[in-house]
Every structure is written in C-alpha cells, then in structure tokens.
C-alpha cells in the first residue's frame, strides 16, 4: 500500500482502503449536523452560561494577588466549530502522517466518515488569552475547580513544543445529542478544548497560522533538521516563539520586582 503524500491523494486512499469518502457531500452534512447539535447543547450548558462570572472572579483574585490584570478580554470566550475541511485535514495527519504503524491503523483506530464528529477533542473549542505568562496556569486552576463544582469530567496539561508552541490546554466533557447516518438520535459525551495562552503567543500565532497550516501536511523525515536551517521560515517562526516565551518570563519577573518594591519606578 503506497503512502499518500498529499491531501488529495489521501482522500482517494481513504475511499479505497478504509471505506470513507471524505469528498461525499453526505459525509460533510453528517459531520456538520452533529457539530451543530454539539455546539447548541454546549452553549446552553451551565458551564458556559456561568463562565463569564467565573472568569470575573478569577480576574478579581489575580488582580488582588499581583496588582495586574489577568485577561486580554473580559467577554465570555467564543465557542468555535472545527470546519469539515479542517477535520478531514486532521484525519490525514492522524491516519497517515502521525501514524507510526501505517499501513496498520492508529492505536485508537482509523478516523472515518462515521466517527469524524466524535474522534477529536477539539471539534468544539475556544481560546482564553492572558496578559502574563503566569496567567494560563492560574486560569486552568480555576476552571478545574469550576468544572468539579458542576460535576463535569475535566483535565488539563501544558503544551511546550519544539516548534515553539506554548499554551495550556484544558478539556471539559459534556453530554450531547448525536445522530447516526440513518438520522436516528443518540446520546454521547464529548470534550471541549479550551486553549489558554498569552498575549504575545496569540499575536504570533495569528501571524503564522497560514505557515503552520501548510507545513503540518508536509511529511517530515527528520523532525530536527529545521533547527539548523536558519534561512527557513520554520526556523524563524520557531525560534521567535521561543524568544517571546523567554521575554514573557523577563516581563513577569520585572512586574513582580516592581510589585514587591525591589525595583523602584520613578
């Protein structure tokens, strides 16, 4: 079995080898109907209806402890749905590019048109942007407690990648209604992803998003060689992100020294 090298080759491969026609309009409709159901259920859940109040409490607590503002925006984070094209794109990465067992299936099984709405943990997601580098951990601490008070399963971990991506990822699980391909209703639960990052990392991500989209579908035979390819965009983007992470730590240290009186500001 030849390994598909492009997204177009992958779509043909998936139809022929795992019985999933990602180009079929019915597959797209199935995905979008389910995501719409998920979005509506999650938006109306007590967790998101009360999230703004919870973040206001976190803001007050953080300001009292640090004499600094916690969040870039005071409004409730906006939930987003992963577009069908992005989900198909990610299925290519999971089924082929990241699959060290290929041509055997990944550990969790193939991503198919049947399970595409349910396979990933970021089909419904939002982002919270903090002003300082200690904000993401502070926010996820509060979100863990908040979800526990509502009886929801939750988890979190930090992301610190070689390519320069820095954020905290928080996941909370919600009950939702689904439909199968015969349009029969069922119930299941899915995770929603909350990315918690910093102002500088968010700005950099907005500037480099197109670059990362193109780069992540390119098979990488040596994942470290780019670190010496100083003329490449990947080198510049990756090390700029690492540099910003260092700069954020210096900013935080300076803020804390001023707050403690160790540094005088005239």
Cα–Cα distance measured from residue 240 to residue 122, given in angstroms and rounded to the nearest whole number: 26
Residue 187 in contact with residue 177, Cβ under 8 Å? yes
Cα–Cα distance measured from residue 178 to residue 187, given in angstroms and rounded to the nearest whole number: 6
Angle (nearest 5°) at CA 191 between 188 and 196: 165
Other CB atoms within 10 Å distance of the CB of residue 205: 20
Residue 154 in contact with residue 147, Cβ under 8 Å? yes
Residue 30 in contact with residue 38, Cβ under 8 Å? no
266 residues of the chain, pLDDT tens digit each: 689 999 999 999 999 999 999 999 999 999 999 999 999 999 999 999 999 999 999 999 999 999 999 999 888 899 999 999 999 999 999 999 999 999 999 999 999 999 999 999 999 999 999 999 999 999 999 999 999 999 999 999 998 887 778 999 999 999 999 999 888 999 999 999 999 999 998 888 777 666 555 566 566 555 677 778 877 777 877 788 888 899 999 999 999 988 777 665 55
Q: What is the pLDDT of residue 262?
A: 67
- Please list the alpha-helical segments (H only) found in the chain: 7-17, 25-43, 46-49, 51-66, 84-92, 116-119, 135-149, 199-215, 233-260
Q: What is the pLDDT of residue 223?
A: 62
pTM score, whole prediction:
0.87
């Amino acid at each position: 079995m030849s390994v598909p090298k492009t997204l177009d080759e992958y779509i043909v491969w998936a139809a022929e080898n795992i019985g999933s026609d990602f180009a079929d309009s019915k597959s797209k409709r199935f995905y979008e109907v389910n995501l719409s159901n998920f979005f509506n259920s999650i938006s109306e859940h007590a967790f998101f209806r009360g999230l703004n109040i919870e973040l206001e409490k976190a803001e007050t607590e953080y300001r009292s402890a640090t004499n600094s503002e916690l969040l870039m925006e005071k409004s409730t984070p906006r939930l987003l749905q992963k577009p069908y094209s992005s989900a198909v794109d990610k299925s290519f990465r999971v089924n082929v590019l990241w699959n060290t067992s290929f041509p055997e299936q990944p550990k969790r099984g193939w991503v198919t048109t049947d399970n595409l709405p349910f396979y990933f943990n970021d089909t419904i997601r939002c982002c919270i942007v903090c002003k300082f580098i200690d904000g993401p951990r502070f926010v996820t601490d509060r979100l863990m407690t908040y979800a526990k008070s509502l009886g929801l399963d939750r988890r979190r971990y930090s992301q610190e990648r070689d390519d320069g991506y820095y954020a905290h990822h928080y996941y909370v699980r919600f009950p939702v209604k689904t439909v199968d391909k015969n349009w029969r209703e069922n119930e299941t639960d899915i995770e929603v992803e909350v990315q918690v990052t910093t102002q500088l990392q968010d700005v950099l991500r907005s500037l480099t998003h197109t670059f990362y989209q193109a780069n992540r579908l390119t098979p990488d035979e040596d994942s470290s060689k780019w670190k010496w390819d100083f003329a490449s965009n990947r080198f510049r983007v990756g090390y700029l992100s690492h540099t910003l992470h260092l700069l954020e730590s210096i900013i935080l240290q300076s803020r804390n020294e001023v707050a403690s009186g160790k540094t005088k500001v005239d």
